[in-house]
Every structure is written in structure tokens, then in C-alpha cells.
């Protein structure tokens, strides 16, 4: 799905995939934060944050969380209500240059399969460049595809695991989603 289609979906329904309530999303988010190897991070980057549900969970695990999404409607919703003081939301389209040197956590949750190969490679390079040594990258996707992605989740993670340089720390795969944690040595 193109980012402009996401914007239209958010305008029709601010939580079209049940980020706040669905068991799939709640379980995915719990497993995501539960798979982070470190108890606490200094600086986390979460592009494609949607309405900021996972962002709020990450805020409890980092000094500062910089989150963004291409959809202005989603970001406006993310900014509404109680926003933890250590969270910043902005509208930003990937691949972006967020200029966050020294980040020690990058979170890519259900975004890479919406990017073509060149954008996917750029985002992974940006993650590598911004991460401090020993910084962590966590990537999670629905395993299948609704036909609106460049790759299925499984194909995305096969590609991800083939990228050189990263230290592979965690893989989780179940009938619904696949998750990997990679560390920049």
C-alpha cells in the first residue's frame, strides 16, 4: 500500500487495523518490547509509528523516543491525549534522514515490506549509520501479505537476515508474525 493510501485510510478510520485493541496488535507489541535485549535505551527511532501505540510502550524503555509517520492524520492522533514527555512525533516519509547519531535502538514494525528494494536498503543503511556500536535494530512483520506489499513478511525477514555486518540476536516466528533483533557490532 502506498503511503497516500494509508493517509486516506486514517482519514476514514483513525485506527483501521485495531492498533489499540486487537489481540494481534497487542500481542505483537508485547512481544516486540519483550524481545528488546536491553532494559533501557538512550535514544530510540521509530519510523512508521502510526498513531503511536507502540511508541508509548517504547517510552518506558528509553530516555528519548523519536517517532514519525508519513501520514499527517496518524501523527496528529499520535500527538493527542497523553504524550510522554520523552516522546517526539513528526510527519516524515521514509526513506528519511532523521539525523539521530548515537541512537541505540531502531524499531521497524510492519514498514519494510511497504518499501521497494532501493528504499528498503536506504532505511537499513540509515539504521546502521545512526546506531552507536552495540545498538539494536528490531524488525517485526506480519508473515503473510495482503497483496499490497512488495514482499511478504517472511520474504522481508529472509532479505533482512542476508544483510551483511549485523550480529543476529533474536528470531521469533509464529503462525502470525516474524521478528528479528539485529545488533550493530
Interface with ligand SAM includes 152 (CB under 6 A)? Answer: no
- The Cα–Cα gap between 161 and 143 comes to 15
Report the nearest approach of ligand SAM to the CB of residue 142 (Å).
8
Preceding peptide of 14 cis, ω within 30°: no
Looking at residues 83 to 102 of the shown chain, list those that interact with ligand SAM (rule: CB under 6 A).
Answer: 93-94
Looking at residues 14 to 33 of the shown chain, list those that interact with ligand SAM (rule: CB under 6 A).
Answer: 19
Instruction: Count CA atoms within 13 Å of residue 22 on its CB side.
Output: 8
DSSP state of 35: T
Instruction: Report whether 100 contacts 43 (CB < 8 A).
Output: yes
Interface with ligand SAM includes 109 (CB under 6 A)? Answer: yes
Using only C-alpha atoms, what is the Rg of the chain?
15
Report the nearest approach of ligand SAM to the CB of residue 39 (Å).
22
- The Cα–Cα gap between 75 and 165 comes to 33
Interface with ligand SAM includes 6 (CB under 6 A)? Answer: yes
| x/- letters, 34..73, toward ligand SAM (CB under 6 A) | -------------xxxx---x--------------xxx--
Binding site for ligand SAM (CB under 6 A): 3, 6, 19, 47-50, 54, 69-71, 74, 93-94, 109-111, 114
Amino acid at each position: 500500500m502506498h503511503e497516500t493510501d494509508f493517509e486516506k485510510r486514517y482519514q476514514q478510520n483513525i485506527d483501521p487495523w485495531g492498533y489499540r485493541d486487537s489481540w494481534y496488535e497487542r500481542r505483537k507489541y508485547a512481544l516486540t518490547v519483550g524481545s528488546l535485549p536491553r532494559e533501557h535505551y538512550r535514544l530510540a527511532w521509530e519510523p512508521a509509528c502510526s498513531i503511536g501505540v507502540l511508541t508509548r510502550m517504547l517510552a518506558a524503555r528509553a530516555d528519548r523516543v523519536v517517532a514519525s509517520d508519513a501520514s499527517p492524520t496518524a501523527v496528529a492522533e499520535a500527538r493527542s491525549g497523553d504524550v510522554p514527555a520523552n516522546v517526539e512525533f513528526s510527519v516524515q516519509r521514509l526513506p528519511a534522514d532523521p539525523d539521530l547519531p548515537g541512537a541505540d535502538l531502531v524499531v521497524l514494525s510492519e514498514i519494510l515490506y511497504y518499501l521497494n528494494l532501493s528504499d528498503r536498503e536506504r532505511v537499513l543503511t540509515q539504521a546502521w549509520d545512526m546506531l552507536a556500536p552495540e545498538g539494536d535494530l528490531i524488525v517485526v512483520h506480519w508473515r503473510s501479505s495482503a497483496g499490497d506489499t512488495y514482499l511478504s513478511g517472511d520474504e522481508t525477514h529472509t532479505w533482512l537476515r542476508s544483510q551483511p555486518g549485523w550480529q543476529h540476536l533474536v528470531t521469533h516466528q509464529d503462525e502470525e508474525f516474524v521478528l528479528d533483533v539485529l545488533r550493530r557490532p
